[in-house]
Amino acid sequence: MQSVNDPQPASAGAQLAAARRERGLTVDEVSARTRVRASLIEQIERDDYAHCGGTVYARGHLRSIAGTLGLDPGPVLAAYDASHESLTGPVLVVPPGEFDPLRGGAGGGGGRGGFRWGTAMIVSLAVVCVVAVVLLLLPGGSGKSGDASGSARQQPASAAPSRPPTPASAAPTTPASPAPTGVNVVLAARDAQSWLEVRDDDRHVLLSQLLHTGDSRTVTAPGALHIRMGNAGAVDVSCNGRSLGPSGGPGQVVTITVSVGASGSCEVGPDGQGPLSAMSG
């Protein structure tokens, strides 16, 4: 650990460089322990974050390197935040249109599906009424018919007039709801904080921020979501109302893809490598 009497370097990169030299470690040794490229570590020690990929990744690298060197990551991150743009606030991303991920299409009760259903009901009732009127107008099996002598022929009293049975109207069939094609993902920090980055299928960033303990964020998209977590063990992931649980261990940096399979169930897997597991959607 750093000596209490030593003056604390002003910048985040200087703090890490000083701690590494004090412990007698090379950049390559720190790279092997953190799996951060040696060239990127050298740039970070010079406070050059141009190749980190953004604020979220830069903070993740600083936290990982500081932990490896035995430093409290808080002062290091505070020094970084003092000279860089702070993270954004809560973000809720909903794609254009009234997309309903649980129905796989545009929402609303006045859509084309509802109109066809009402028309079918009206036509069915009209057909039943026409059939009933026709049956009432058909001649019965009894009555009087005159002959030349004016005598009437009578049907036996026991013979009841026969009518064809009224056809029963077929019960309307409820159309099956299409399997959902979109995802509604909830990310919740259970007992520790974690930085998050969420991208859509076009790799556009939909969410990029630090999630504090007890916070949650909801991201909705018509296709798959690609989620990167800096502390996967602290983040619970839910898709379309079903919990998928954590995607890694404490402090582990994990990238997953959450999508909906052909059966309509949510699938979660490593980014670009197919599903790891599937849960009912």
Question: Does some domain include residue 233?
Answer: yes
Question: Does some domain include residue 194?
Answer: yes
Confidence grade of residue 107 (pLDDT, cut at 50, 70, 90): very low
Structure tokens at 100: 């309903």
| 142-175 core/surface letters (b: 16 or more CB in 10 A; e: else) | eeeeeeeeeeeeeeeeeeeeeeeeeeeeeeeeee
Question: Does some domain include residue 118?
Answer: no
Cα atoms in the 13 Å half-sphere on the side-chain side of 154 = 4
Confidence grade of residue 116 (pLDDT, cut at 50, 70, 90): low
Residue 111 has pLDDT above 50, yes or no: no
Confidence grade of residue 20 (pLDDT, cut at 50, 70, 90): very high
* Domain carrying residue 265: 99-104+178-273
Question: Does some domain include residue 151?
Answer: no
- Ramachandran quadrant class, 143 (left: phi over 0; alpha: psi -120 to 50; beta: rest): left
Question: Does some domain include residue 90?
Answer: no
Please report, for the domain that includes residue 76, its CATH number: 1.10.260.40
Question: Does some domain include residue 30?
Answer: yes
pLDDT at 254: 86
Which is nearest to 74 in space by CA: 28, 15, 143, 150? 15
Q: Which of 174-178, 218-222, 262-266, 271-275 has the highest mean pLDDT?
A: 218-222
Confidence grade of residue 177 (pLDDT, cut at 50, 70, 90): low
Residue type, 217: R
Q: Is the pTM of this model over 0.85?
A: no
Question: With contact defined as beta carbons under 8 Å apart, do 205 and 217 qualify?
Answer: no
For residues 102 and 276, give the distance between their C-alpha atoms in angstroms, rounded to a whole number: 22
Condensed to tens digits (0 to 9), the pLDDT of residues 48-105 reads 999 998 899 999 999 999 999 999 999 999 999 988 755 444 434 434 344 444 444 4
Please report, for the domain that includes residue 266, its CATH number: 2.60.40
Beta strands 235-239 and 242-245 are antiparallel
Structure tokens at 120: 């079918």
Burial group, residue 29, by CB count within 10 angstroms (0-12, 13-18, 19+): middle
Number of domains in the chain: 2
Question: Does some domain include residue 110?
Answer: no
Between residues 238 and 28, the one the model is more confident about: 28
Confidence grade of residue 168 (pLDDT, cut at 50, 70, 90): low
pLDDT at 46: 94
Between residues 239 and 115, the one the model is more confident about: 239
Question: Does some domain include residue 171?
Answer: no
- Which whole number is the average pLDDT over 251-266? 83
